[in-house]
């Protein structure tokens, strides 16, 4: 299993991060806000734990969407 992690940067708006968490990880707004704050405060936050293929797909989707929107948001997967 792999955890999908968002990494903090100084440029991506917090609201964009919340929207990404809600859209791609199906979290409610309150949970998404808590994950975003963890990313902001601790430098990274776990959005979910998935099989290797699903985690890789989510990383690719989030990265593509962030680039398309012009944000440097980084999303990675780490083995649990």
Domain count across the chain = 1
Q: How confident is the model at residue 72 (pLDDT cuts 50, 70, 90)?
A: very high
Predicted TM-score (pTM) above 0.85: yes
Q: How confident is the model at residue 75 (pLDDT cuts 50, 70, 90)?
A: very high
Q: Which 3 state secondary structure label does DSSP give 49? A: strand
CATH code assigned at 7: 3.30.1390.10
What confidence tens digit (pLDDT) does each residue in 2-37 have? 999 999 999 999 999 999 999 999 999 999 999 999
Contact between residue 73 and residue 16 where contact means Cβ atoms under 8 Å apart:
yes
pLDDT score for 1: 98
Domain range enclosing 19? 2-79
Closest of 32, 45, 40 to residue 3, by C-alpha: 45
Q: Which 3 state secondary structure label does DSSP give 68? A: helix
Contact between residue 67 and residue 74 where contact means Cβ atoms under 8 Å apart:
no
């Amino acid at each position: 299993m792999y955890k999908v992690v968002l990494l903090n940067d100084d440029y991506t708006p917090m609201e964009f991060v919340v929207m990404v968490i809600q859209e791609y990880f199906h979290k409610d707004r309150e949970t998404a806000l808590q994950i975003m704050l963890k990313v902001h405060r601790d430098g990274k936050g776990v959005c979910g734990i998935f099989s290797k293929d699903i985690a890789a797909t989510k990383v690719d989707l989030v990265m593509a969407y962030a680039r398309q929107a012009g944000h440097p948001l980084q999303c990675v997967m780490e083995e649990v």
